Amino acid sequence: MVHRTRVIILGRQGAGKGTQCARLAARLAVPHVSTGDLFRAEAAEGTELGRQAAAYFDAGSLVPDELVLDLVVQRLDADDARAAGYLLDGFPRTLAQGQALFEVLGDWAADVAVELDVPTSVVLPRLAARRVCQDCGATSRAAPGAAEVATCERCGGTVTRRTDDTDEAIHRRLATYDQESGPLLSWFDDKGLLVRVDGVGDPDDVHHRLLDAVRSRIPDIGEV
């Protein structure tokens, strides 16, 4: 019998979640389902869901839970995810979203929910160091103490922080995460699904901790 591997990964912005999720999904041989990527793909294809989501993005407002849920469930229902399982990244973010997901998919929505834990004191300087070129869009990381504005190494354009990466906005997003994730994490814990993983340190070590966390709940994960 083939066991599907269904993993939810949670973590603060700046915790290195995207990179670790891509690597873990490849290792587990499951699709990496990231809500950010889903929205971009739907918008690029011009689907109805994509158009609706883009309208919220363009207005600078949050995409409603129902729309995100539709998009996620549709993706988790695709052949590859039905066969192998999935690694869900970026959803759910709130208790309401978690409950809605399990209402639709049932208790088989996840075998394990892993919190990649990197303290605010570590992610803050990382987020503050993010830079983007206003001309070519290249992203980079400023050295500690570097100037706020620099010259792009690729195109000679102007490199600055993203407009939504002010200190205030970063603090606000991290505070929102702490507020929203608290009840969600407790809920996963009550279900016996939560495993916390220390996300600080060498990326290879973090990868192996994540793999161990998944293995602790799914002993027969396929090795790739």
Q: Using DSSP bridges, classify how beta strands 5-11 and 194-198 pair: parallel, antiparallel or unpaired.
A: unpaired
Any contact of residue 132 with Zn ion (CB under 5 A)? no
Query: What minimum distance in Å lies between the beta carbon of 143 and Zn ion?
Result: 18
| Binding range to Zn ion, per CB under 5 A, among 20-28, 86-94, 148-156, 172-180 | 148-156
Interacting residue with Zn ion among 22, 43, 124, 155 (CB under 5 A): 155
- Active-site residue, 191 included: no
4, 23, 40, 130: the active-site residue: 130
Q: Using DSSP bridges, classify how beta strands 5-11 and 112-117 pair: parallel, antiparallel or unpaired.
A: parallel
- Active-site residue, 82 included: no
Report how far residue 158's alpha carbon sits from residue 134's, in angstroms, rounded to the nearest whole number.
6
Any contact of residue 135 with Zn ion (CB under 5 A)? yes
Of 156, 160, 164, which is closest to residue 134 (Cα–Cα)?
Answer: 160
Contact 194, 10 (CB under 8 A): no
- Active-site residue, 17 included: yes
Any contact of residue 55 with Zn ion (CB under 5 A)? no
> Which DSSP category does 166 fall into?
S
Which x/- pattern, by CB under 5 A, does the window 78-117 give for Zn ion? ----------------------------------------
Any contact of residue 164 with Zn ion (CB under 5 A)? no
List C-alpha distances in Å: 183 to 59, 159, 190.
29, 38, 10
- Active-site residue, 209 included: no
Query: What minimum distance in Å lies between the beta carbon of 157 and Zn ion?
Result: 4
| Binding range to Zn ion, per CB under 5 A, among 9-17, 33-41, 111-119, 131-139 | 131-139
The CB density around residue 192, as the number of other CB atoms within 10 Å, is: 9
Any contact of residue 157 with Zn ion (CB under 5 A)? yes
Owner of token pair 């294809």: 45
The CB density around residue 81, as the number of other CB atoms within 10 Å, is: 18
Owner of token pair 């083939």: 2
Is the backbone peptide bond immediately before 203 cis, with ω within 30 degrees of 0?
Answer: no
- Active-site residue, 130 included: yes
Any contact of residue 149 with Zn ion (CB under 5 A)? no
Nearer to Zn ion, 136 or 147 (CB): 136
Nearer to Zn ion, 122 or 138 (CB): 138
Of 220, 12, 217, which is closest to residue 117 (Cα–Cα)?
Answer: 12
Active site residues: 17, 93, 130, 162, 173
Binding site for Zn ion (CB under 5 A): 133, 135-136, 138, 152, 154-155, 157
